[in-house]
Amino acid sequence: MADTKFPPENNLPAGYEPPKVWTWEPGNGGAFANINRPIAGPTHDKDLPVGKHPLQLYSLGTPNGVKVTIMLEELLAAGHAGAEYDAWLINIGKGEQFGSGFVEVNPNSKIPALMDHQPKDGDKPLRLFESGSILVYLAEKFGAFLPTDLRARTEAMNWLFWQMGSAPFLGGGFGHFYSYAPMKIQYAIDRYAMEVKRQMDVLNRHLADHEFMAGSDYTIADMAIWPWYGRLALKDAYDDAGDFLSVDQYEHVQRWTKQIGERRGVQRGAMVNRTFGDPSTQLRERHDASDFELKTQDKIATA
């Protein structure tokens, strides 16, 4: 019987019909196809390095990774010396997130992952994964960037979890089909562009009446949202996506983006584990505060 709702000739590719049971075909096309797979667990044995600081970060300078390095640099800028950390580069393009040591820290094999070798309970090292969980943990460990007032804290948590739920539509949805998919699919691009513009409007309306996401205080909610939506507002995401989505029209997001971007902790955090862009902005690994002056990629290349 012919499928009148989804006639195969209208599918992409033309004639495609979903099988009754999906099976994986390695190398299914598009960026990252070489590391995508439908199962979890390690692919190879590899221990993680451990540096001199209690906090050991294993990450990459993607928006989710930048959230955590911004938080750590902001803590240090605020005088929390215990937030000193080692940041080790995890090259997800080479599948390093599937090493046995990394999987022990994050069974989901996604960056960022953090080990605290001096947790407050004095017990064995504590693993942390999921960027939102790491931000809350660090905020509570150091008593910073998460208000203690009930209403302000709740608002910060509201927006933190808004980001965690919304960004996949921006990155895995719009970003994937606009920049990474092996073909341009109008339906997918239109669907996710509409959602991302709605999200930008949510932010713009909120920031029209609030200096920061949780009100008058700069919090982990700002740190979580800025690497995703601030980067888009700066036209620094997914090729020409900023123009495609007319991001200049979101004036309050633009004001907030600029204000956050002027913070020293944000500027430093955005450099850590970065492997693209201007070499002077790439600090591929960070083990000491002096690394920002001595070990950026431009200096390493000319050493």
**Residue 289: band (very low, low, confident or very high) from pLDDT cuts 50, 70, 90:** very high
- Mean pLDDT score of the chain, rounded to an integer? 95
3-class secondary-structure state, position 126? strand
**Residue 303: band (very low, low, confident or very high) from pLDDT cuts 50, 70, 90:** confident
DSSP at 234: T
Whether 2 shows a pLDDT value over 80: the answer reads: no
Tell me the CATH number of domain 150-269, given options 3.40.50.2000, 1.10.3210.10, 3.50.50.60, 1.20.1050.10. Answer: 1.20.1050.10
Helix count and strand count (H, E) for the chain: 12, 4
For the segment 68-88, the average pLDDT, to the nearest whole number, is 98
For the segment 132-154, the average pLDDT, to the nearest whole number, is 97
| 181/165 Cα distance (integer angstroms) | 22
Least confident of 16-25, 74-83, 144-153: 16-25
Q: What angle do CA 83, 89, 93 make, to 5 degrees?
A: 145
Letter string b/e over residues 279-292, b meaning 16 or more CB atoms within 10 A of that residue's CB? eeebbbebbeeebe
Phi/psi of residue 114, each to 5°?
Answer: -135, 140
- Sequence-distant (6+) residues with CB within 8 A of 238 are 174, 175, 178, 179, 232
Q: Give the pLDDT confidence score for residue 36 in this predicted structure.
A: 87
Quick one: which H or E segment has residue 56? strand 55-59
Whether 1 shows a pLDDT value over 60: the answer reads: no
For the segment 289-297, the average pLDDT, to the nearest whole number, is 97
Whether 66 shows a pLDDT value over 80: the answer reads: yes
Quick one: which H or E segment has residue 85? strand 85-89
For the segment 255-279, the average pLDDT, to the nearest whole number, is 98
- Where do the CATH 1.20.1050.10 domains begin and end in the chain? 150-269
For the segment 81-96, the average pLDDT, to the nearest whole number, is 97
- Where do the CATH 3.40.30.10 domains begin and end in the chain? 1-145
Closest Cα to residue 163, out of 188, 197, 199, 191?
199
Whether 39 shows a pLDDT value over 90: the answer reads: yes
Q: Give the pLDDT confidence score for residue 34 in this predicted structure.
A: 78
DSSP H helices, 143-207, are 150-168, 186-207
Q: Which two tokens mark 94?
A: 């080479």
- Say which residue, 92 or 2, is predicted with more confidence: 92
CATH of segment(s) 1-145: 3.40.30.10
Q: In DSSP terms, which residues pair with 226 in a beta bridge?
A: none
Q: Give the pLDDT confidence score for residue 35 in this predicted structure.
A: 85
Whether 208 shows a pLDDT value over 90: the answer reads: yes
- Sequence-distant (6+) residues with CB within 8 A of 20 are none
Cα-to-chain-centroid distance, residue 145: 19
Residue with tokens 């190398």: 27
| 177/187 Cα distance (integer angstroms) | 10
| 214/244 Cα distance (integer angstroms) | 29
Question: Each residue of 157-188: pLDDT tens digit?
Answer: 999 999 999 999 999 999 999 999 999 999 99
Q: Give the pLDDT confidence score for residue 141 in this predicted structure.
A: 98
Q: Give the pLDDT confidence score for residue 95 in this predicted structure.
A: 94
For the segment 124-135, the average pLDDT, to the nearest whole number, is 98
Residue type for position 122: G
Question: Each residue of 224-257: pLDDT tens digit?
Answer: 999 999 999 999 999 999 999 999 999 999 999 9
